[in-house]
Amino acid sequence: MCRHSLLVASQDSDPEKMVSELPAPVQSELSSDRSGADTQEDKMMIAWRYQNMRTVQSSPTGSNFGHYYDLTKSMPQDVLDQLDISYWSGSRQTDVAGKYSYSCQTDAAGKYSCQTDTAGFCNPAYRDLLTAIQLKISLGQFQVSDTPEKRNILRVAVHSLGSPLWRANQQRSDLTLFLYCLRSLLRSSLAVCVVTVPSHLFQARYSFVFTWGSQFTGILPFQDPCTIKHCEHLCDVSVRLESFAGSDRETNPALKDYHGFFHINKLPAINTLASHVPESLDLAFKLRRKKFLIEKLHLPPELQESTEREQDDILTAPSSGSCGGGGRRNLDF
């Protein structure tokens, strides 16, 4: 939509297929009518004293441009053909300069043995991707010191970094080292990067050493939960999606309109002493047939008498006894 250059990288999925399946943007006039339609649908009965109060805005932003997409439609192919898009799928190819022509093999222990310099990475795929990003920045003149005729921004998207295909189970330090190098690379260029990490694969696990007598048979590697904290520290912004599927919140009537929480773990603080704090950090997402919405989490009003009110009425009801004295009753309005 902004005509920016793109670099899509993934080892789990085909990056070209991912781009071709991007949802199409919603027309501006349709998104502008969203507030009026939601007002009619979400109209509810409230007390007279709250009628003049400010209406709660569910959407965290009032801008419509680039915020609404139709999940049932794909981006037109003619629009994608006009963009500068590069893909990286992890396959090592040899370009004109020969930068990707190194020999990598896997030994019996499952570790890489490379004959060229991998800049401290056990898995050369991390070095491969950094070289591709650096080459894209250099050829596209996205460095701050470059003076092109028309400046543009490079958008980098890395999908499922640290998955089993990246061998992060054996080389956990490669993930944090890659983010550290990527952070340094983007600081001196007109580029932004979005990285998704399967955090559920880095939960706390245990390591077991199998021995038979005095003979060592093997060891099961474990994941370090601190790896995700290190990744969050190296990023400017960190968000996390928590789905309600398979949990007790899925059947909670107060959360029936949502499908999960949208957690903000870290906010950007670039060239400033303190980061901007939004109005509310309690966000939730819900998936509709055509839209993926992120809204402020607010509980609906209670229109019916609750169980606690009924119990209170029972406790304050008049008691009958031999003395004939009645209990205290609350005034009814």
Q: What is the mean pLDDT of residues 116-136?
A: 84
The pLDDT of residue 220 is above 50: no
Distance separating alpha carbons of residues 130 and 143, to the nearest angstrom: 15
Are 80 and 3 in contact by the 8 Å Cβ rule? The answer is: no
Of the candidates 182, 160, 163, the one whose C-alpha atom is nearest the C-alpha of residue 171 is 163
Structure tokens at 320: 């009958």
Find the helix packing angle between 172-187 and 124-139, rounded to 10°. Answer: 10
Structure tokens at 156: 């980098």
Sort strands 5-10 and 85-88 into parallel, antiparallel or unpaired: parallel
Sort strands 238-243 and 260-266 into parallel, antiparallel or unpaired: antiparallel
HSE-CB of 144 using CA atoms within 13 angstroms: 6
Q: What is the mean pLDDT of residues 50-72?
A: 66
Of the candidates 171, 167, 228, the one whose C-alpha atom is nearest the C-alpha of residue 197 is 228
Q: What is the mean pLDDT of residues 226-232?
A: 87
Domains of the chain, residue spans? 1-22+75-235, 24-38+52-73+237-302
Distance separating alpha carbons of residues 267 and 249, to the nearest angstrom: 26
Chain segment 134-181, per-residue pLDDT in tens: 999 999 999 999 888 889 999 999 999 988 888 755 566 888 999 999
The pLDDT of residue 87: 96
Structure tokens at 214: 């005095």
Structure tokens at 284: 């939730």
The pLDDT of residue 223: 58
Distance separating alpha carbons of residues 87 and 159, to the nearest angstrom: 12
For tokens 């009003």, what's the residue? Answer: 301
C-alpha pair distances (Å), 173 with each of 70, 120, 166:
39, 10, 12
Question: pLDDT: is 196 or 68 the higher one?
Answer: 196
pTM of the model: 0.69
Of the candidates 34, 35, 27, 32, the one whose C-alpha atom is nearest the C-alpha of residue 73 is 27
Q: Give Cα 38 to chain centroid, integer Å.
A: 26
Q: Give Cα 10 to chain centroid, integer Å.
A: 16
Q: Which of 54-58, 211-215, 289-293 bottoms out in mean pLDDT, i.e. has the lowest?
A: 211-215
Chain segment 298-329, per-residue pLDDT in tens: 776 665 555 554 444 434 444 444 455 555 55
Collapsing DSSP to helix, strand or coil, 225 comes out as coil
C-alpha pair distances (Å), 214 with each of 54, 180, 207, 208, 217:
74, 42, 19, 16, 9
Distance separating alpha carbons of residues 196 and 163, to the nearest angstrom: 10
Are 17 and 96 in contact by the 8 Å Cβ rule? The answer is: no
Name the helix (H) or strand (E) containing 283: strand 283-287
Of the candidates 82, 81, 101, the one whose C-alpha atom is nearest the C-alpha of residue 91 is 101
